[in-house]
Amino acid sequence: MPPPANTPTPAYGTQRSSGTIPSSPFPTAAPGGSGAAAPRTYYPTPGGVQGGAYPSYAAGVAAGHAGQLAGGDGAAYPSAQGGSAAQQVLQEIQQFNSPRYFTRASVARVPHSGSLQQKLHLPIGLVIRPLAPVRPGSPTVPSVNFGNCGVVVRCKRCRTYINPFVHWEAHGRRWSCNLCGFVNDTPQFYMRGLDDKGKREDRFERPELSMGSVEFVAPADYMIRPPQPPAYLFLIDVSATAVASGLVESACAGIRAALTSGKLPGCTDSGAGGREDSRTMVGIVTYDSAVHFYALGSATASGGGKRRPQVLVMPEIDDVFLPLSDDLFVNFAENKEA
């Protein structure tokens, strides 16, 4: 027997361990803004769960979402406190998902059935900006550092990083990858018990288990060679036209401003966590009909005075080679006053 015409029809989705975001019920706000309690209508919102807010991982799902979710579609969402089980699952999916300014899908709802996917022929695409600027008022992306363990927890088959959507098994001793389904052993240092719902007891204490976007600090095993010092080589056009037009003067002023403005990593106290990177190297090459290399070395002579750099002119521009081995770059911290 079909329901009456004025009765809202609920539509619910289910979650699979395929790595895709499941469909979820979204209640609408009361129409007209009169404050009267209107029947709740559940339907998949076009904007998708990726439009959710990005709360701090320590707050957990219990913090809920007050009012409208930041960056969402304008639909009012309920708080997890006192809500139904489906609403609480929705809140967790909202929190675990990456913010829309980092990751956004072309399709907000993927069909649950494989046969339905083949019939619809929906083109699915992702716009991913892992280093996009954080919006004003949004919390910064937390960093995850496994410290002296030297191991980042990842799937051994597909190398997926540990994330909120993995499935835990055997009291937390194993976890199943949400992308390829491979069952991995949990490292001893990462062991933790599960609650009555099969979730990690510390999932809201770890950002990688409760947030969609985190930054993993790479251990030493991820480095093929030791970290190299940042080096900046500036090329300046010194042809007669450039000199007459004032381009050379403007270029030199721009280079000086860039080195001292705090915009270049490692050059001022804006880099390296408020400290100046003493390894930063700077070099200059000029060119017109020939290429001019400058043996800068140290700008300070042995007697304490300033030393003029030596200029090496290379007229053969079709077969250019580097005539300097060590003096092309100088340490910025030691010579920035020169």
DSSP string, 90-110: HHHHHHHSPPTTTEEES-SS-
Strands 167-169 and 174-176, by their bridges, are antiparallel
* Backbone φ, ψ for residue 143 (5° rounding): -105, 140
Specify the pLDDT at position 251. 94
List the Cα angle 27/29/35 in 5-degree steps: 140
Question: Using an 8 Å Cβ cutoff, are 112 and 15 in contact?
Answer: no
Question: Using an 8 Å Cβ cutoff, are 68 and 52 in contact?
Answer: no
Specify the pLDDT at position 272. 43
Report in angstroms the alpha-carbon separations of 249 from 6, 11, 238, 244, 252: 75, 67, 10, 10, 5
Domain 141-225: which topology?
A: SH3 type barrels. (2.30.30)
Whether the model clears a pTM of 0.75, i.e. scores above it, the answer is no
User: H/E element holding 114?
Assistant: helix 114-120
Specify the pLDDT at position 235. 94
Residue limits of CATH 2.30.30.380 in the chain:
141-225
Q: 């089980």: which residue's tokens?
A: 85
Identify the CATH number of the domain defined by range 231-335: 3.40.50.410
Specify the pLDDT at position 154. 94
Question: Using an 8 Å Cβ cutoff, are 34 and 61 in contact?
Answer: no
**Among 51, 42, 102, CA closest to 74:** 51
All residues at 6 or more sequence positions from 38 whose CB lies less than 8 Å from its CB, including other chains? 28, 29, 30, 31
Specify the pLDDT at position 183. 96
Specify the pLDDT at position 286. 94
Question: Using an 8 Å Cβ cutoff, are 179 and 160 in contact?
Answer: yes
**Among 202, 22, 190, 201, CA closest to 97:** 22
Which residue stretches of the chain have pLDDT < 70? 1-83, 85-94, 262-263, 266-277, 297-307, 338
Tens of pLDDT, residues 14-26:
444 444 444 444 4
